[in-house]
Amino acid sequence: MKITTAENDIQEILYSEETIKARVVELAKQLSVDYNGLDPLFVCVLKGASFFYADLCRLMSCRIFMDFIAVSSYESNAKSTGVVRIIKDLDKNITGKHVLIVEDIIDTGLTLAYLKDLLGARKPASVKTISLLQKDIPRPREIHPDYLGFRMGSQFVVGYGLDYSDYYRNLPYIGILKPETYS
């Protein structure tokens, strides 16, 4: 029987499990200082950010609240339009709360820009953003997350929550797919 493993489809590991862990520890330390005493609400943008979010939250030393939002971007000819549909909204009102939106990757930046505007309009005390990855590419509207894990190239990456056709999210590292996997 041929055994198919996700690892066989990976060409190169870009960020190892250890490298990711070390950076998430640093980010959590910084956030624990910055949000100490503020009881912030950390918002996970499903599904891609789920691994980063879980690791980040469990490393926080100050009190936090947790909530989840799921969005889907409308695409036209496989290009993101910047219009985002809410599939699952937050459970609770965020008025007066210190909100941190937790993303896995900024590609075009349209999702994070949309979410920042959306949640910002609900009158939180503050709304900031963190992304594990940001692609170093030109974008129509530049976006600067308040906290960033790694600035990367323009490669298509999977693992640690990131997917290709919903596969590979469970890889413990972030890697580049072999071209033949998606051609």
Establish how many alpha carbons lie within 13 A of residue 138's alpha carbon, considering only the half-sphere containing its beta carbon: 1
Size of the site for ligand PRP (CB under 6 A): 16
Interface map 72-91 toward ligand PRP (x if CB under 6 A): -x------x-----------
Interacting stretch for ligand PRP, rule CB under 6 A, among 18-26, 85-93, 106-114, 117-125?
106-114
Site string for ligand PRP, 134-163 (x = CB under 6 A): -----------------------------x
Alpha-carbon span 25 to 43, nearest angstrom: 18
| Nearest residue to ligand PRP on Cβ basis | 48
Q: How far is CA 138 from CA 51, 80, 153, 154, 166, in A?
A: 27, 15, 11, 10, 26
Which residues would be at the binding site for ligand PRP (CB under 6 A)? 45-48, 73, 80, 103-111, 163
